[in-house]
A and B are shown apart, each in its own frame.
Chain A
Amino acid sequence: MNSRLIFLPLAGIAIAGGPAYATVYLSVEQAQAVLFPGATVQPQPRTLTEEQVKAIEHASGVHVLTKQLKVWRVSAGGWFIVDEVVGKHEYIPFALALDDKGAVKGVEILEYREAYGGQIRDPEWQKQFLGKDASAKLQLGKSIRNISGATLSCKHITDGVERLLVTYELVLKQSGR
């Protein structure tokens, strides 16, 4: 075990740790391969009606952000859905895999571009991002992908999954067979 505390200029760190920076975990295709290995998927996008949106919001208690449902039917049975939730400030895209009975098979976060924890409220912290672009990344030799000290809640993601489970019950279940 070895550790040391160093101090680095904020300009470089801002890009790595702040909203100007996104950690990309998986592409949609990679998430499909991870969640349904070896299966083929068929896109079956839907547009929710006004009534369906109301019914989903009523049953899940979660606000529906968009009527467009990005959904794929899986050859081996089951569904693959890509959706997003609003984190503290940014959209967090995620993929949900449902088995042929509509039970959760897996959740993968696709991208994370949230500012971490409380420092977003700190005006000094926010100031760092003004006028920054991707080229500023070069100021720091290697990017900083992890932050410690501000536990992130995943409640918005579990709420999003809850909403999609209701969406499955009300919209996909009858139509998918």
Chain B
Amino acid sequence: MKTGRYAGSTQQQARPGPSSELLPILIMDILTYSGHLLSGAWITVQLTLYSSVLGLFFAFVLGVGRVSDNPFVHGLSAGIIEFFRGTSLLVQLFWLYFALPMIGQTLGYDWRFPPMLVGTLALALNIGAYAAEVVRGAIQAVAPEQYEAAKALDFSPRQTMWRIIVPQAVPEMMPSLGNLAIQNLKDTALVSLISLADLAYKAEQLRNFTQDSTTIYSLLLLMYFGMALVVAGLMKLAERYACRWRAGGSV
């Protein structure tokens, strides 16, 4: 068990760690590492963006389906939500990456999808299922009088849901969706385990190569933290926009 961790211990002694007074070397290291990590960060950004957008789509479809009067639609939505909330993301990721191609093979199809697609899909389904519950809760918090007003104006049930109810449920969702967006960013790190060269993957590569764990992982944590702050900022902006019609703006 120890071999992995101590493979570089001799090198550790030869090369001063970050705690030494050789600050310029540390800075040079950080610059070199950063250059290498940036290409991974770009994958992480793309993955976060795609899966968040797709996840939001799933969230609205499933969340609205969950409050449907149609028992089939209601049941199906509830089942999908429970399934993806109930099984671990990593299990879903592995299943799509390792097991799905085998099912395809049995059926005579090639279901070996590129890791980027599998990663996006798994993340989107997982975060979408959590967000669907947020969407459902917000929809149920809309005043019942709004349905009556819509009925009195003769809107169809579909128009009522998508034009009247869902839009005014959005501000209620925003704080939770903001948290889920950050959750999703963090979850993207797991795709490194299906050999997608994201930020975590690049860092792992770099550590294998240099054995400079402390600097690399510190840098990595800071990069994720920075990205999380950016996501939080963007979600705050979106929240402000979504709440613009409310008295006093934000919730």
A and B bound? no
